[in-house]
Amino acid sequence: MSGEPALKYEKVFGRPESLKDNYTHYCPGCGHSIAHRLVAECIDELGLREKTIGVPPVGCAVLAYNYFNFDMIEAPHGRPLALATGIKRTVPDKFVFTYQGDGDLAAIGTAETIHAANRGERISTVFINNAIYGMTGGQMAPTTLLGQEATTTPGGRDARYHGQPIDISRMLAVCDGVVYIERCSLSGVKQIRSAKRAIKKAFRCQLDDLGFALVELLSPCPTNWKMSPKQAWEWVNKVMVNTYPLGVIKDTTGYED
Amino acid sequence: MPSEKVLMRGNHVLGEAAVLAGCRFYAGYPITPQNELPEYLSGRLPQVGGTFIQGESEIASINMIIGATAAGARAMTSSSSPGISLKQEGISYLAGMELPAVIANTMRGGPGLGNIAPSAADYFQATRGGGHGDYRTPVLAPSGCQELAEVTFLAFDIADKYRTPVMILGDGMMGQTMEPVVFPDPIDPKDLPRRDYILDGCKGREPRAIYSMILDINLMYQHNLKLLEKYEQITANETRWDTVGTDGAEIVVVAYGTAARIAESAIEELAGRGPKIGLFRPITLWPFPTKQLRSLSENVSKIAVFEFSAGQMLEDVIMSVGDRAEIYFYGVPGGIVPTPAEVAGFLSSVNSGDGKVGRRIEV
């Protein structure tokens, strides 16, 4: 023995307890994996795992119950917030969140989204906006940008022909039942850290019984955008944010961040 | 102790019976002729710590009860025909996810927006699934307010026992009619068996997931077989019907719901004038009492089908009776409610074979 001090190891990073030890089916560079991890970290840090009931969408995240390590229930396409309303009103002491894509939340489920938000349901929503329909193979989303190519917008989205991209977060902000909406991005380290802060804040709104809260996450979809993951990050940061500017859209929480 | 005898209209009976049966969550969207039901529950449910939500649509409402039942509540929604069409997706999900729930349909004339008059034109929709996929919905068709109260309890029990959506099928006349009712003993939800599949947070156990998407075709096949087995059990255990005066009858009327009561009055009008006429009344429309009607038809010469539709239950009667007896049909669609005298006229035509009211069905 030479008298050198024994090496001490301290675990500084690991899998959140709220994530199962499973491989996901998400494509390389997809934002869902990052968003899942952020949600799981927030639930762990707030000590909510054993009282959480999550409602995933129909869309790429339909199998989220294979990845999240807490109770979950599938909803019909577009209906997570109606279903979550039934859960939360039945067991108000549980933590209930929905995780929804742009088609689910802002097209087929627009009515359920607006009315749950307007009722001020004590539910938190994580809204993944990737401006495309992923699971069905790249069709136009309600949030597809003008000029953006999708399999159902040959030549790019044309406002007169396909309609304008919808900014549902700004629409929801006018509802009195909504206490907090922020738009963040998953395309960069700084942005991801900001997204986690926003998700945790939205979760707190429910715990403090304030009202409805939503975090919109601009999320890369390299596969359907036909880009590399790096190009997809750049496209979010340089193009997508022009239609969907990042930042707080509504905040009546009174929280000091 | 059962309640004292009270005078209530059908829509209120359904609401009170649901509460007494332990229902603690209701969501629905207004539609005539069933609005007295949500109106009643909006005041009554909060009295027992339950939740009433006027949903933004029928679609939202059925999804709210999916959430409520998944979280452990006895849950109900209701509507009338066009609204029930909108709920069919949710009913299919409830069947696929094997979640109990009660759906009440106070039928009105259709198709399309139709009218608000009493009708029974949703028999096909109720008994043949209505939504997509290989599933069945038990359908209870009460005749009058007293049976409505009892059937409401039964609907929640069948739903829980078999983990299935159950439909109560009434019509606008039953919803509006006031009758004396004695309610069964109330059920405290705390006394119901705890469901070991609900979502209430994974404290002290593995996380649960409730879903209906099964991408693996072999697993989907197994799931369908499991559901099929359940439907066979329901058919064996839960088929219900009633008969009035069928012993020694030459003619037997087959009718359900309000139509059965009109038929009963018509039979009384004709008593002592001509051949003996009995009544066979299915209470479960699915499972239809096929075997029971078949064995009855061995001993009668004529079966007379009467319904408030252009001929829907008729198909189940044809499948049950075949050529064992002559089948006659009198259907009045569109929301018109025939008088007992008109139905008596049909039965006289069945007896004489003059073909003046109704028609002979060739099998």
To the nearest whole angstrom, how far is the Cα of A91 from the nearest Cα of chain B? 7
Under DSSP, is residue B129 helix (H, G, I), strand (E, B) or coil?
coil
Mean pLDDT computed over A206-231: 98
Domain spans of chain B?
6-238, 242-361
**Residues of B whose CB is below 8 A from A73:** 66-67, 70, 97, 199, 209-211
Token duo for residue A203: 């979760």
Q: Are A215 and A127 in contact (CB under 8 A)?
A: yes
**CB contact, 8 Å: A70 with chain B?**
yes
Per-residue pLDDT band at B1 (split at 50, 70, 90): low
Mean pLDDT of the residues in chain B: 97
Compute the distance between CA of residue B169 and CA of residue B313 in angstroms, rounded to an integer: 13
**Max CA separation in chain A (angstroms):** 80
Closest chain B residue to A58 measured between Cα atoms? B213
Distance set, CA A253 to CA A38, A54, A120, B242 (Å): 21, 23, 13, 61
**Average pLDDT, stretch A82-86?**
98
pLDDT confidence tier of residue A7, bands split at 50, 70 and 90 = confident
Q: What is the mean pLDDT of residues A207-220?
A: 98
Asked if domains B6-238 and B242-361 share a fold, the reply is yes
pLDDT value at residue B129: 81
Chain B contact for A108 (CB, 8 A cutoff): no
| Range in A244-248, B2-6, B59-63 with the lowest mean pLDDT | B2-6
Predicted confidence (pLDDT) at residue A248 exceeds the cutoff of 60: yes
Q: What is the pLDDT of residues A104-155, one digit of tens each?
A: 999 999 999 999 999 999 999 999 999 999 999 999 999 999 999 999 999 9
**For A188, which DSSP code?**
S
Average pLDDT, chain A: 97
Domain ranges within chain A, ordered by starting residue: 31-251
CA distance B355 to B139: 33
Taking an 8 Å cut-off on Cβ atoms, the answer to whether B71 and A90 are in contact is yes
Please check whether residue A99 touches B, CB under 8 A.
no
* pLDDT tens, position by position, B335-363: 999 999 999 999 999 999 999 999 999 98
The pLDDT value recorded for residue B3 is: 78
Classified by CATH at the fold level, domain B242-361 comes out as Rossmann fold (3.40.50)
Residues of A in contact with B27 (CB under 8 A): 86
Selected residues 45-64 of chain A with any CB under 8 Å from a CB in chain B: 49-53, 55, 62-63
Query: Is B322 a residue whose pLDDT tops 80?
Result: yes
Strands A212-218 and A247-251 come out as unpaired
Task: Return the CATH architecture of domain A31-251.
Answer: 3-Layer(aba) Sandwich (3.40)
Express each pLDDT in B71-105 by its tens digit.
999 999 999 999 999 999 999 999 999 999 999 99
Sign of the alpha-carbon dihedral angle for A61, A122, B43, B56: negative
Q: Show the CA angle centred on residue A46, arms to residues A40 and A52, nearest 5°.
A: 60
pLDDT tens for each residue of B189-247 = 999 999 999 999 999 999 999 999 999 999 999 999 999 999 999 999 999 999 999 99
Per-residue pLDDT, averaged over A240-245, amounts to 98
Parallel, antiparallel, or unpaired: how do β-strands B165-171 and B284-286 relate? unpaired
* Nearest-CA distance A100 → chain B (Å): 16
Do the beta carbons of residue A66 and residue A41 sit within 8 Å? no
At the fourth CATH level, the homologous superfamily of domain B6-238 is Thiamin diphosphate (ThDP)-binding fold, Pyr/PP domains (3.40.50.970)
